[in-house]
């Protein structure tokens, strides 16, 4: 099923030759300046695209966003910053707006300048009024090493509004108050302050709960634009739709982790607070030993116990009251026999593996998502630039 952008948005997706012949230049514009919010990487090596977009979205308004894929334009100095601003200025000039109304994101190899001769040719061919309506095309245009495009949609209950999102990312993923590259669009009407607050809550419990390899990207960018074309919607209903779209995209990202064969979901509940639950869950999903055990369908619950135990800052965690489950099967403290181990191994051969830890330190919970660690991940990243 083809997913279209919400009312008030149009797209232009093309190839300008950044690296190969696949689409690498994506522009989504609104009919008029609209409410906007953004969250970005906390990396001290944040790229020019992040710095420019932080600056431009600060007033809570934007007309569009441009994404260049296959080149991150990170650690490229003053020249890289000038190039990012030139891209923004070129887009703004063509569609007839101020430079600060355009946001930019980049993704790909770090440390290489944009091939500006090719980028300038692409800007020269940019239509003044993009006509594309396919969110699927936008999702494909921002891909790098992704094996599949990632798109999701949801209707806002009680209104005619929709939320549509796209994302890319399969490696260098451990979001820190941001995410890979994610673009979310809605035709609901909402104020900029409400949108920013809502977006922060949603990102905290979706994209910030994803990890493929514990590495925070230099280019992480999450942007949401609201055209208002469908009129006002109940804020709670809008946040639910935004959450559902972001959660779907987050899981798609985790499932498509570089070399991944399995989605890992870790739920930690009965924790002292949300932070404790999330920290422990991330320790489990990020453990190379847990990830390789899941890959090998080995129900080695001792590795989960190890991951919980290394969260030594939480002195209220008592191994005598912790419960560990794979799927619905308790593996600790209950002693399991050979038949149970065989059944668990069969369960872990599936495409989805759930690990559940009950801390018994309180009443809060958190769920995070990741993937198994395979030889494919090593191979992709060993050969990435060569």
Residue boundaries of the structural domains of the chain: 9-255, 263-382
| Structural contact between residues 5 and 133, judged by C-beta atoms closer than 8 angstroms | yes
What pLDDT is stored for residue 316 in this prediction?
Answer: 97
Is 328 catalytic? The answer is no
Q: Which structure tokens are listed for 295?
A: 């890959």
User: How far, in Å, are 28, 40, 221, 223, 271 from residue 240 at the CA level?
Assistant: 24, 22, 21, 17, 24
Asked whether the domain spanning 263-382 has the same topology as the one spanning 9-255, the reply is no
Dihedral (Cα; 215, 218, 219, 222), 10-degree rounding: 60
Which pLDDT does position 386 carry in this prediction? 61
Helices (H), 150-234: 192-204
- The residue whose two tokens read 């669009």 is 185
Q: Burial of 312 by CB count in 10 Å (0-12 exposed, 13-18 middle, 19+ buried)?
A: exposed
Q: Specify the length of the chain in residues.
A: 386
* Token couple for 241: 């739709």
Give the class (CATH, top level) of 9-255.
alpha beta
84, 73 contact by CB (below 8 A): yes
**Sign of the C-alpha dihedral, residues 34, 39, 41, 42?**
positive
Top-level class of domain 263-382: alpha beta
Other CB atoms within 10 Å distance of the CB of residue 346: 11
Element (H or E) spanning 38, and its range? strand 25-40
Residues of the chain falling short of pLDDT 50: none
Q: CA 242, CA 223: separation in Å to the nearest integer?
A: 12
What distance in Å separates the CA atoms of residue 229 and residue 257, rounded to the nearest whole number?
A: 35
Q: Are 257 and 370 in contact (CB under 8 A)?
A: yes
**Which residue in 94, 107, 145, 179 is the catalytic one?**
179
Among candidates 73, 74, 62, which has minimal Cα distance to 101?
Answer: 62
Structure tokens at 125: 């061919």
Q: Tell me: the pLDDT tens digits for 79-114?
A: 999 999 999 999 999 999 999 999 999 998 899 999
- The rounded radius of gyration (Å) of the Cα atoms in the chain is 22
Query: At CA 341, angle to CA 338 and CA 342, rounded to 5?
Result: 85
Of 8, 298, 374, 286, give the one whose Cα is nearest residue 160.
8
For 286-334, where are the alpha helices, taking DSSP H only? Answer: 288-295, 301-309
**Separation in Å, CA 161 to CA 28, 191, 242:** 18, 15, 11
**The pTM is what?**
0.92
pLDDT tens digits, 9-23: 999 999 999 999 999
Q: Residues 20-44: pLDDT tens digits? A: 999 999 999 999 999 999 999 989 9
Distances (CA, A) of 13 to 5, 122, 227: 13, 11, 20
Phi and psi of 311, rounded to 5°? -80, 60
């Amino acid at each position: 099923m083809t997913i279209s952008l919400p009312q008030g948005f149009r797209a232009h997706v093309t190839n300008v030759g950044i690296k190969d012949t696949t689409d690498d230049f994506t522009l989504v514009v609104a009919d008029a300046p609209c409410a906007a919010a953004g969250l970005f990487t906390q990396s001290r090596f944040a790229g020019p695209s992040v710095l420019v977009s932080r600056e431009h979205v600060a007033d809570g308004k934007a007309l569009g966003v441009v994404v260049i894929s296959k080149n991150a334009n990170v650690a490229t100095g003053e020249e890289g910053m000038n190039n990012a601003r030139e891209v923004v200025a070129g887009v703004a000039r063509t569609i007839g707006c101020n430079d600060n109304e355009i946001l930019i994101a980049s993704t790909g190899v770090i440390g290489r300048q944009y091939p500006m001769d090719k980028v300038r040719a692409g800007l020269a061919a940019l239509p003044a009024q993009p006509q594309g309506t396919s969110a699927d095309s936008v999702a494909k245009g921002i891909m790098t090493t992704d094996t599949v495009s990632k798109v999701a949609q949801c209707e806002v209950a009680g209104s005619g509004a929709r939320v549509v999102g796209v994302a890319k990312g399969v490696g260098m993923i451990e979001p820190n108050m941001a995410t890979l590259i994610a673009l979310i669009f809605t035709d609901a009407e909402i104020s900029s302050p409400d949108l920013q607050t809502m977006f922060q809550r949603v990102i905290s419990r979706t994209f910030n709960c994803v990890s493929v390899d514990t590495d925070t990207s230099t280019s992480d960018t999450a942007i949401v634009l609201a055209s208002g074309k469908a009129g006002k919607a109940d804020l709670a209903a809008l946040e639910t739709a935004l959450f559902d779209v972001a959660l779907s995209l987050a899981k798609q990202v985790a499932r498509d982790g570089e070399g991944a064969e399995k989605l890992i979901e870790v739920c930690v509940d009965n924790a002292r607070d949300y932070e404790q639950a999330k920290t422990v869950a991330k320790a489990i999903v990020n453990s190379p030993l847990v990830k390789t055990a899941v890959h090998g369908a080995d129900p080695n619950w001792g590795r989960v116990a190890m991951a919980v135990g290394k969260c030594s800052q939480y002195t209220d965690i008592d191994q005598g009251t912790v419960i560990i489950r794979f799927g619905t099967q308790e593996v600790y403290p209950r002693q399991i026999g050979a038949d149970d181990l065989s059944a668990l191994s069969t369960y872990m051969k599936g495409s989805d593996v759930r690990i559940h830890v009950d801390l018994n330190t309180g009443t809060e919970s958190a769920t995070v998502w990741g993937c198994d660690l395979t030889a494919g991940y090593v191979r992709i990243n060993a050969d990435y630039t060569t």
